[in-house]
Amino acid sequence: MPEPAVLTLRGISKRFGAVQALKDFDLEVHAGEVVALVGDNGAGKSTAVKSIAGVNPPDEGVIEWEGRAVSINRPHDAQNLGIATVYQDLALCDNLDVVGNLFLGRELRRLGVLDEVRMEQRSRELLNTLSIRIPSVRIPVASLSGGQRQTVAIARSLIGDPKVVILDEPTAALGVEQTAEVLDLVERLREHGLGTILISHNMVDVMAVADRIAVMRLGRNNGFFDKRSTTTEEIISAITGATDSAVTRRQARKREEER
Amino acid sequence: MRRDRAPGDSAAQEPAPDAVPAVDSRLLVREEGIRGYLGEFRRKLRSGELGSLPVVVAVIIIWTVFGSLDSTFLSAQNLSDLSQQIVGTGMIAVGIVFVLLLGEIDLSVGSVSGLCAAIFAVLNVLNGMNQWLALLVALVGGAAVGLIQGFFFAKVGVPAFVVTLAGNLAWNGLMLQVLGTSGTVNIPSESIVSKLYSTIFHSPAAAYVTAAVGVGLFLAASLLDARRRRTARVPYRPVAEIVLRTVVIAAIAFVTAYILNQYQGLPLALLIFLIVLVILDFVLRRTTYGRRIFAVGGNIEGARRAGISVPFVRMSVFSICGFMAAVGGIFLAGQIQSASQTSGGGNLLMNVIAAAVIGGTSLFGGRGSVWSALLGALVIGSIQSGMNIMGVSNAVQFMITGSVLLAAVVVDSLSRRSQKAAGRA
Ligand SMILES: Nc1ncnc2c1ncn2[C@@H]1O[C@H](COP(=O)(O)OP(=O)(O)O)[C@@H](O)[C@H]1O
Ligand SMILES: [Mg+2]
C-alpha cells in the first residue's frame, strides 16, 4: 500500500478480570481496503472492535488515526474521528421508517422542525449510490427482509461520512441471496474509498470480498494473509491453531523466556 | 406516510439509466386515483395496519344504534354536550397516548387529575389565591408529580406500572389531605375553571371561522409540503389527492360547526382541546423530541446507540402525562363545578386508558397518535351519553365500557399479530 493506513492499532491489550481478551494486538486498515477479522468464538474479535469503537477502551497500546496517535474513550470519539460501527444486533427501530432510522439521533432540521424532505432526499441519494434496493424509504423497517435491514444498518453508519466502517458478523443471520446483497454492499464501500473491517465466521464470504485477512487466536494476532496469495485451508489452520504462525511462535518463545 | 408515486416526475422515480433503481417497483407503489387508494386500503387491511379504521367504524355503529333507539341522541344539543363532556377525559387520554408510545402505562392519572383539581380549589376558593396563579400551581403540580414518577421509573428502574400504581394510591391520599376537613370545595361559576368548561361562543361565525381556519391551514401545509417535495424530487402527493383529503376534512369540520351552531355554538373547551391536539401532534411527528419518543418506544437499545438519552425521554414523557392529567382534572372540575373526595375516582382511569387504546394507539409501544385520544374519548363519551339517555344503570355501563376496552385491546393484539405475520411489527 503506497499511502499510510487510516487506522492503525499497535500492541492493544485488554483484560476483563481474569480474562486477557486482547494481548499485543495489531491491525492496519487502509482506505479502499476490506480487512477481514477472523477467529474462533471468543478469540477477541468483538473486543478488538469495541476498543476501536470506544465502547471498551483498551488498557494498553496505541491507536493511530491517519498516522497520529489518538485516544478513543467514548463511542462519540470514534464517530467524530470517522469510525462507524454496525453491531451484530442492528438496533434499528422497527416502528420507524427507513429515513427515520437512517437519521435517528442526527435528524436534519429546518427552523427547528424535522426536515423530512431533505432527509428523504439524502436517504434516496445514499441508497442510490450504494445501489441498495429497498421497496420504499417510507416503510417501517419492520417490513424489510433481514438482508435489507442489514443494508439499512450499514447505510445508516455512512450518514456521518466515516472513513472506516466496522461490520460485526453482518451476514451471520442471512440467507444466500441476502448475504450476496450485503457482500455487494461491502464491495461498494471499498469502491467508495472506505476502509472496512469485516468480522465473519464464513470463510466463503471472507474469501469473496476481503483484500487482507487478519486471523485472531486467543486474543492475539495469528497471522495476516493476502487474499491473492492464500488459501482457505491456510486461514482455517491459523484460526484453529493447527499451524502456528511466526507471530505466535515468537510470542510463545517470549512467554517461555518470561518464566 | 407517503407511499405514493410522483406522477410527471420521472427523475424522482427512475434513477440514471446506468444505476440500479433503489426503489423496487414491484412493491408498495400505489396506483393513482381511487383505484390506488382501494388497493392500498386492502393491502393495509390484510397486513393488519388498521390505524383509526376500527374506531371510526365503532363511532358510526354506536351513533346509528343509539340514534335509532332514541332520536334525542343525535340531537344538536346532545352532540354539543358530548363535545364538551369528552374534553376532560380526552385531555388525560392524550397524556396516556404519550406514555403508551413508550410502551409503558400510567395508572395514576385519575388520582393526579383529582389532586390537581383539589389544589386549585383549595388555593383559589378557600385561600383566596389569584385564580390564574392557582391554576398555574395546579398544572405545574401535575407535571411535577409526573416527573417524580418518571424519575423512579427511568433512573431507579422500578417498572412504570408499579410506580404509578403506588402513585395512584399516594396521590389520592394527598388529595384527601389537601381537601382536609372540607371534603368538597365548590368552584363558583364565575371562576376561570368553570368558565374554561362552560364558555360557549354563541356567534355562529366562531364555529365556521374555526373550521375554515383549520381546513385552510391543512390545505396550505399540504400544498407547501408537496411543492417542496416536488422541487426536491422526492415523491409528493398529487394536487388531486390533496384536494380530496381537504374536502373530507372540510366536510367533517363544517358539519361539526353546523351542528354546534344548531344548539349554542362552539364550546371553548372543545376549541382548546383541538388546539392542544394540533400542537402535540406537531410535537410528536415534526420535532426531534417526538421522533425520540417513537424511537424509545420502538427499540430502547437502538435509541440509546443513536445517542438518545432514554432516561430524559422517559422522565419528560411521564411529566407530560402528569401535566395532561392536571389539565383534564381542571376541565372535569369545571364540568361539575367542584373538587371533592371522589374527584378523579370511579371509572375515570379505566375510561382514559380505554380512550387512548380504542383510538388506535398500541399498548405495545411505538405506534399511535394523539388523535386517538379524541376518537377514543368520543367512543367512550358516546356510549355513556347514549346509555344515560336510555336510562341504563351504572352497573351495566361499567360492564359495557369494560367490554369495549377489552375489544379494543383484542383488536390491537390481533392487528399486531397479523402485522408480525406480514412482517410489519
Ligand atoms: N465485557 C466482558 N467482560 C468479561 N469478559 C469479556 C467481556 N467481553 C469479552 N469477554 C471475554 O473476552 C474474550 C473474547 O471475547 P469476544 O471479543 O467477544 O470474542 P469473539 O467476538 O471473537 O467471539 C472471551 O473470552 C469473552 O468471554
Ligand atoms: Mg463476537
**What confidence tens digit (pLDDT) does each residue in A89-108 have?**
888 999 999 999 999 988 99
Reduce the DSSP state of residue B172 to 3 states and report it. helix
The single residue listed with the C-alpha cell 397516548 is B97
**Which residues of A, range 133-162, sit inside 8 Å of B by Cβ?**
133-136, 138-140, 142-145
- Asked if the model's pLDDT at residue B177 lies above 50, the reply is yes
CB contact under 8 A, B301 and A107: no
User: What average pLDDT does chain B have?
Assistant: 89
| pLDDT recorded at residue A1 | 45
| pLDDT recorded at residue B16 | 38
What is the distance in A from the centroid of ligand 1 to the CA of A257?
Answer: 27
Output the residue whose Cα is nearest ligand 1's atom 5: A16
The single residue listed with the C-alpha cell 386508558 is B353
- Asked if the model's pLDDT at residue B13 lies above 50, the reply is no
| pLDDT recorded at residue A178 | 83
| pLDDT recorded at residue B9 | 38
- When pLDDT is averaged across residues B284-290 and rounded to a whole number, the result is 97
| pLDDT recorded at residue B55 | 86
Residues of A in contact with B229 (CB under 8 A): 117, 120
| pLDDT recorded at residue A48 | 93
- Asked if the model's pLDDT at residue A5 lies above 80, the reply is yes
| pLDDT recorded at residue B397 | 86
B167 and A CB contact within 8 Å:
no
Other beta carbons within 10 angstroms of residue B259's beta carbon come to: 17
A243 — pLDDT class (breaks 50, 70, 90): low
Half-sphere exposure of B98 (CA within 13 A, CB side): 30
- When pLDDT is averaged across residues B165-187 and rounded to a whole number, the result is 94
Report DSSP state, residue A140.
B
Residues of B in contact with A96 (CB under 8 A): 291, 294-295, 298
CB contact under 8 A, A93 and B21: no
Write out pLDDT tens, residues B82-106.
Answer: 999 999 999 999 999 999 999 999 9
Reduce the DSSP state of residue B208 to 3 states and report it. helix
| pLDDT recorded at residue B28 | 46
- When pLDDT is averaged across residues B177-201 and rounded to a whole number, the result is 94
ipTM of the complex: 0.85
Residue bearing the bigger pLDDT, A96 or B20: A96
What's the length of chain A? Answer: 259
Write out pLDDT tens, residues A65-78.
Answer: 999 999 999 888 99
pTM, 2 dp: 0.86
Measured distance between the N- and C-terminal CA atoms of chain B, rounded to whole angstroms: 16
Write out pLDDT tens, residues B391-410.
Answer: 999 889 888 888 888 988 88
Residue bearing the bigger pLDDT, B326 or A91: B326
| pLDDT recorded at residue B38 | 72
Q: Percent of chain B scored above 70 by pLDDT?
A: 87
- When pLDDT is averaged across residues B280-287 and rounded to a whole number, the result is 97
B366 and A CB contact within 8 Å:
yes
User: What average pLDDT does chain A have?
Assistant: 89
* Residues flanking ligand 1, CB < 6 Å: A 16, 19, 21, 39, 41-47
A81 — pLDDT class (breaks 50, 70, 90): very high
- Bridge partners (DSSP) of residue A110 are A113
- When pLDDT is averaged across residues B100-116 and rounded to a whole number, the result is 97
| pLDDT recorded at residue A134 | 86
Least confident of A6-20, B35-49, B170-184, B300-314: B35-49
Residue bearing the bigger pLDDT, B26 or B76: B76
B153 — pLDDT class (breaks 50, 70, 90): very high
| pLDDT recorded at residue A259 | 59
Other beta carbons within 10 angstroms of residue B53's beta carbon come to: 15
- The C-alpha cell at A32 is 479502499
- The C-alpha cell at A206 is 471472507
The ligand 1 atom at the shortest distance from the C-alpha of residue A17 is 4
| pLDDT recorded at residue B215 | 98
Question: What is d(CA A179, CA A150) in angstroms, rounded to the nearest whole number?
Answer: 9
Least confident of A234-238, B122-126, B217-221: A234-238
CB contact under 8 A, B1 and A93: no
Write out pLDDT tens, residues B29-70.
Answer: 455 556 666 777 777 767 666 667 778 888 999 999 999 999
- Asked if the model's pLDDT at residue A257 lies above 80, the reply is no
Please give the backbone phi and psi of residue A149, each rounded to the nearest 5 degrees, phi first. -65, -40
| pLDDT recorded at residue B79 | 96
Write out pLDDT tens, residues B62-73.
Answer: 999 999 999 999
CB contact under 8 A, B19 and A96: no
- When pLDDT is averaged across residues B133-159 and rounded to a whole number, the result is 98
**Which residues of A, range 60-119, sit inside 8 Å of B by Cβ?**
75-76, 87, 89-97, 100-101, 104-107, 109, 112-114, 117-118
| pLDDT recorded at residue B196 | 96
The ligand 1 atom at the shortest distance from the C-alpha of residue A50 is 17
| pLDDT recorded at residue A255 | 62
Residues of A in contact with B419 (CB under 8 A): 142
**CA proximity to B104, closest of B55, B148, B158:** B158
| pLDDT recorded at residue B412 | 84
Question: What is d(CA B231, CA B242) in angstroms, rounded to the nearest whole number?
Answer: 17
Specify the DSSP element, H or E, that contains A167: strand A164-168
- The C-alpha cell at A59 is 488498557
- When pLDDT is averaged across residues B281-294 and rounded to a whole number, the result is 97
Residue bearing the bigger pLDDT, B223 or A230: B223
- When pLDDT is averaged across residues A159-179 and rounded to a whole number, the result is 88
